Amino acid sequence: MDAEVAALIGAAVGSLATLGAAFVTGRAAARSQYDQWRRQHRRDAYVAYLGALHDRDIALDAVFEALRPQRPDLAAVDERVATFVGLAREVHRAAEVVLVEGPPVMVAEVDRVGRASGERAEVMRRMVADARAGDTTHKAVHTALAARRDEALHQSVKGLRAAAARVLDAPR
């Protein structure tokens, strides 16, 4: 009887060990799948945001181009500003997803890009107002400021890309 009890206890211990190993393996596999799913959602959010930024910045460049002549065609300027505004809304929508997906380092980078974008767009607003008023006295100063702010925006987007790559490459 002692041998039978020992065999029974051995079988029970073996079964428990097998179940424990299966549980641990299953949890690890589930965690790995979740991490991959999370990375993919973040990647999609970051790509959508960068794409929206790109489209919006091309529209802003078009506004600056329309403002280049001494006497800009205000109808063309207004049309390009309207396109820019629509694309800026898309950037804000895409940014919201990045903010939700995180992590905090990406929230900080989106904030930096947002500030740099706003500063560049503010120069455009001043230039449009001057064009409507027929005032060319600040045009050279505003054009130079727009170029500096464009470079600042470029650097902030570069930082965002680098942060996104680090987040996506980081092991869990």
The CATH number linked to 103 is: 1.20.1420
Q: How many domains does the chain have?
A: 1
pLDDT above 90: percentage of residues in the chain: 74
The verdict on residue 30 lying in a domain is no
For residue 89, give its domain range.
Answer: 39-169
C-alpha 150/C-alpha 152 separation (Å) is: 5
What was the pLDDT predicted at 5? 72
Q: In the structure encoding, which two tokens stand for residue 38, read together? A: 């999370």
pLDDT per residue as tens digits for the range 116-134: 999 999 999 999 999 999 9
pLDDT above 70: percentage of residues in the chain: 83
The verdict on residue 4 lying in a domain is no
The verdict on residue 3 lying in a domain is no
- Could you give the maximum distance between any two Cα atoms of the chain, in Å? 107
The verdict on residue 82 lying in a domain is yes
pLDDT per residue as tens digits for the range 137-167: 999 999 999 999 999 999 999 999 999 999 9
